[in-house]
């Protein structure tokens, strides 16, 4: 079968098959079955014209790994297969991907519209760094599609969406907001990290550019950092040029680990989001919890939108504890099956409050202004047995109830 026919067949395959084979229907050196780690910084040429053509991109080839690398290219091809994108660009971290794509398309005099409920690092770019460049930023209430549409209509060069949001798990209607953005000729960028390509296809919903923190679910093992941006070849050419000059390239070792992790993405997500749904439903019954955030719950304000634009509801749940941070400090150390860490998307379950995870860069006042309670805890559900995770939460809550009111204020 020719490469063209093989790629065509793969496009029709399921997401699990594409997770394994996208980007890897090629003959690796030495007939290896796994993507090799090419650790060379530079690539040599005896023919100067051949070298020049490779440098210009008019002929295939590599010249310097800041610009392109064989291992990294396999990863870029793999995310293209999952997101149905023409092209992709890999970065050293998720924030490198997010900030670089914003800096590529925004400059002095431009206007960006987004929501308040974005990841803390992204929020800092909007609040601190873009205004320094003379970029006007409008951050809207995430639940108000009307407000977002009004701000877009005032003038918008880039609309930046994150759905579900981190860590409040809010959902925005992507098609509706894309339609508003296209009326004014705005570019639409969406962070698909939480949903993953298995649960949401932003490009099919009209989005122009999709970003991922590949450190999270794509890698899945908390041992590599990376970011990915994908979209049309025209747009990715601009993003790639920015990366080449500014230098936040992904190293081949991390690319290899992310490639390896992506092969089990479908299996991991299947178990993780099944457990997440069960955990969210259990948490609704716990008296020590004020609120549970999970788009798979019928009680979620935008559950109906999630049902329309997502194929699954993801593996992140967040909840708000009675007693705020005092209760958080008692509950988390009691958990046996979960790391308390500033990461998500790994095979192990991970717990953490917003002030030490998603919004550690923000002050207390900034978090409260963003609607993030000090009692909010984010769970990144792992691949452990569902029953064990729920039993672990149950015993932890029982221990919290064992503390006296003099030790912890639960009023």
Residue 392 known to be catalytic:
no
Residue 191 known to be catalytic:
yes
206: closest CA among 231, 229, 223, 228? 231
Cis preceding linkage at 167, omega within 30: yes
Tokens matching residue 377: 């805890």
Q: Is 139 strand, coil or helix?
A: strand
Element (DSSP H or E) covering residue 378 = strand 376-380
Residue 337 known to be catalytic:
no
- Pair 255, 219: CB distance under 8 Å: no
> Nearest 5°: phi and psi at 130?
-65, -40
269: closest CA among 324, 211, 203, 313? 313
Q: For residues 192 and 188, give the distance between their C-alpha atoms in angstroms, rounded to a whole number.
A: 13
114 vs 284, 308, 311, 401, CA distance in Å?
30, 22, 24, 40
Residue tagged active-site, from 116, 216, 240, 243:
216
Cα Rg for the chain, rounded, in angstroms?
22
Residue tagged active-site, from 111, 119, 208, 256:
119
Q: Dihedral of the CA atoms 24, 244, 94, 225 (nearest 10)?
A: 60
Residue tagged active-site, from 191, 208, 351, 355:
191
378: closest CA among 360, 343, 351? 351
- Pair 400, 377: CB distance under 8 Å: no
Strands 209-213 and 187-191: what pairing?
parallel
206 vs 176, 181, 197, 273, CA distance in Å?
10, 10, 15, 25
Positive or negative CA dihedral for 400, 402, 408, 411?
positive
Neighbours of 48 (CB within 10 A): 8
User: Strand ranges (DSSP E) for 168-301?
Assistant: 187-191, 209-213, 227-231, 289-293
Q: For residues 51 and 59, give the distance between their C-alpha atoms in angstroms, rounded to a whole number.
A: 9
Residue tagged active-site, from 7, 66, 176, 238:
66
Tokens matching residue 381: 């559900």
Residues designated catalytic: 66, 119, 191, 216
């Amino acid at each position: 079968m020719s490469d063209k026919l093989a790629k065509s067949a793969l496009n029709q395959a399921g997401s699990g098959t594409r997770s394994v084979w996208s980007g890897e229907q090629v003959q690796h050196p030495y007939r290896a079955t796994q993507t090799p780690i090419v650790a060379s910084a530079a690539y040599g040429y005896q023919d100067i014209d051949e070298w020049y053509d490779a440098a210009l991109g008019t002929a295939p080839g590599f010249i310097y790994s800041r610009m392109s690398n064989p291992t990294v290219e396999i990863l870029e091809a793999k995310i293209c297969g999952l997101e149905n994108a023409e092209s992709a660009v890999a970065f050293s971290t998720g924030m490198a991907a997010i900030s670089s794509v914003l800096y590529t398309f925004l400059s002095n005099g431009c206007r960006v519209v987004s929501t308040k409920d974005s990841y803390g690092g992204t929020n800092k770019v909007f609040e601190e760094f873009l205004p320094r460049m003379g970029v006007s930023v409008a951050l809207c209430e995430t639940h108000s599609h009307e407000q977002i549409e009004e701000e877009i209509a005032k003038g918008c060069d880039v609309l930046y969406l994150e759905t579900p949001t981190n860590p409040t798990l809010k959902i925005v209607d992507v098609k509706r907001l894309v339609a508003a953005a296209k009326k004014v000729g705005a570019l639409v960028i969406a962070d698909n990290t939480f949903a993953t390509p298995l649960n949401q296809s932003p490009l099919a919903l009209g989005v122009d550019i999709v970003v991922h923190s590949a450190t999270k679910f794509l890698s899945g093992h908390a041992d590599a950092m990376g970011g990915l941006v994908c979209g049309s070849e025209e747009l990715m050419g601009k993003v790639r040029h920015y990366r080449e000059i500014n230098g936040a390239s992904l190293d081949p070792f991390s690319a290899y680990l992310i490639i390896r992790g992506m092969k089990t993405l479908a299996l991991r997500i299947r178990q993780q989001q099944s457990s997440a749904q069960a955990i969210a439903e259990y948490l609704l019954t716990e008296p020590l919890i004020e609120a549970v955030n999970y788009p798979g719950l019928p009680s979620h304000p935008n559950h109906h939108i999630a049902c329309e634009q997502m194929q699954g509801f993801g593996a992140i749940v967040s909840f708000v504890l009675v007693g705020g941070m005092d209760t958080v400090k008692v509950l988390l150390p009691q958990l046996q099956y979960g790391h308390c860490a500033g990461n998500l998307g790994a095979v192990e379950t991970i717990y953490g409050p917003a002030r030490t995870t998603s919004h550690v860069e923000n002050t207390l006042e900034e978090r409260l202004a963003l609607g993030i309670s000090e009692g909010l805890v984010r769970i990144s559900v792992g691949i452990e047995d569902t029953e064990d995770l729920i039993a672990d939460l149950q015993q932890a809550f029982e221990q919290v109830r064992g503390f006296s009111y003099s030790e912890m204020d639960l009023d």
